[in-house]
């Protein structure tokens, strides 16, 4: 992979966001662009914003500014649609304390929207994908299933109003989760997005040079995810993710193909996967309780060289 030799690079490509030191400041920078997953432009704009700032939270940082990137066929969309999209985005960015300070749009046959986000982080607060240690406990802060459920709606297998809980989950910022992780002294964390739970857990395991033991029955799933997988509402990305992860994952014999696909479901604006030492766990739980943030303990970190066991 491309490596920049500049001494300012603190975290380079391969983590949730890059970190660059300029004088005594640590800048966190990331970009994310997605295609529509819901019909309502206001909601889609807000989900895009939550999804884009998430990578800054996943580094333990604070997102400060945003640049919008919009690709659309100008003849197909009324200005009111774009206004509504931007309104949704700005409202969500404001919730994150992030200012939209510019952007760029291009003609594109396929609608795309996203943001480049810049923020700051304290040196001791940096959460890395490679920061998990043997003996840590793994927690996950959102339910899995946004890819399966949105494809069930697209295929006409699920009614639109039933998507509400998944939409609410995608709209939720990872701010509280990241704050709790930093307070608890966590060093390892990532957000669960396009590579699915397994893909992101495996990336953490590889970069941390540890193995992870995942308890499938502890993984929080959105309602009816397994039914829709069984009914064939499986995004291509889930199959791709599973194939990619299978080489380095050993599944217990009781783990079904439906289970494996749910663990591989690509998430939009997914939750954080955080690695915590047992003492950190108590602090994390204290913040979660105070902030009414739900989370699940889903596994543990053991010595190894970058493999997963799912049982
Ligand atoms: Co990420
Ligand atoms: Co990303």
What's the gap in Å between 184 CA and the centre of ligand 2? 24
Which pLDDT score is estimated for 77?
82
CB within 8 Å of 30: residues ≥ 6 apart: 16, 17, 18, 52, 55, 56, 116, 117
For residue range 209-231, list pLDDT tens digits in order: 999 999 999 999 999 999 999 99
What's the gap in Å between 278 CA and the centre of ligand 1? 24
What's the gap in Å between 52 CA and the centre of ligand 1? 9
What's the gap in Å between 272 CA and the centre of ligand 2? 13
What's the gap in Å between 294 CA and the centre of ligand 1? 20
Range 35-63 average pLDDT: 97
Q: Which of 12, 27, 14, 11 is nearest to 116 (CA)?
A: 27
Is the pLDDT score of 2 beyond 80?
Answer: no
Q: Is 307 left (phi over 0), alpha (psi -120 to 50) or beta?
A: beta
Range 163-191 average pLDDT: 98
Range 252-257 average pLDDT: 98
What's the gap in Å between 143 CA and the centre of ligand 2? 19
Q: What are the beta bridge partners of residue 71?
A: 106, 112
What's the gap in Å between 34 CA and the centre of ligand 2? 10
Which pLDDT score is estimated for 75?
85
Confidence of residue 111 (pLDDT cuts 50, 70, 90): very high
- Residues lining ion ligand 2 (Cβ < 5 A) are 32, 55
- Encoding tokens for residue 102? 């510019």
Is the pLDDT score of 4 beyond 80?
Answer: no
Confidence of residue 88 (pLDDT cuts 50, 70, 90): very high
Closest ligand relative to 16 C-alpha: 1
Confidence of residue 7 (pLDDT cuts 50, 70, 90): confident
Rounded-to-integer distance, Cα 220 and Cα 196, Å: 13
Which pLDDT score is estimated for 90?
98
What's the gap in Å between 55 CA and the centre of ligand 1? 5
- The three-state secondary structure class of 261 is helix
Q: Which single residue is written with the structure tokens 């889930």? A: 238
7 versus 198: which is more confidently predicted?
198
Which pLDDT score is estimated for 74?
85
Rounded-to-integer distance, Cα 285 and Cα 291, Å: 10
Domains of the chain, each with CATH number or no CATH? 9-124 (3.30.1330.10), 128-310 (3.90.650.10)
Range 51-59 average pLDDT: 98
For residue range 123-175, list pLDDT tens digits in order: 999 999 999 999 999 999 999 999 999 999 999 999 999 999 999 999 999 99
């Amino acid at each position: 992979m491309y490596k920049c030799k500049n001494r300012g690079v603190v975290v380079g490509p391969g983590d949730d966001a890059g970190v660059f030191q300029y004088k005594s400041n640590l800048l966190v920078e990331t970009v994310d662009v997605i295609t529509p997953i819901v019909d309502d432009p206001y909601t889609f704009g807000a989900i895009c914003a939550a999804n884009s700032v998430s990578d800054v939270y996943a580094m333990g940082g604070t997102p400060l500014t945003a640049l919008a990137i919009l690709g659309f066929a100008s003849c197909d969309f009324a200005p009111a649609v774009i206004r509504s999209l931007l309104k949704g985005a700005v409202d969500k960015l404001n919730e994150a304390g992030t200012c939209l300070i510019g952007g760029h749009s291009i003609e594109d046959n396929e609608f795309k929207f996203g943001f480049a986000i810049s923020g700051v982080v304290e040196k001791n607060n940096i959460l890395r994908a490679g920061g998990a240690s043997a003996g840590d406990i793994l927690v996950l802060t959102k339910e899995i299933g946004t890819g399966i459920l949105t494809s069930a709606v697209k295929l006409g297998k699920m009614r639109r109003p039933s998507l509400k809980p998944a939409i609410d989950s995608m709209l939720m910022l990872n701010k509280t989760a990241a704050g709790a992780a930093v307070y608890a002294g966590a060093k390892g964390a990532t957000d669960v997005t396009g590579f699915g739970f397994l893909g992101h857990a495996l990336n953490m395991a590889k970069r941390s040079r540890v193995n992870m033991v995942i308890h499938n029955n502890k993984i929080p799933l959105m309602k009816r995810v397994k039914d829709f997988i069984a009914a064939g509402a499986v995004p291509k990305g889930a199959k791709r993710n599973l194939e990619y992860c299978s080489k380095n994952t050993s599944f217990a014999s009781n783990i079904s193909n439906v289970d494996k696909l749910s663990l591989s479901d690509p998430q939009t604006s997914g939750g954080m996967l955080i690695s915590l030492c047992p003492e950190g766990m108590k602090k994390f739980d204290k913040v979660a309780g105070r902030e009414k943030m739900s989370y699940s303990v889903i596994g543990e970190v053991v010595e190894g060289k970058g493999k997963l066991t799912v049982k």
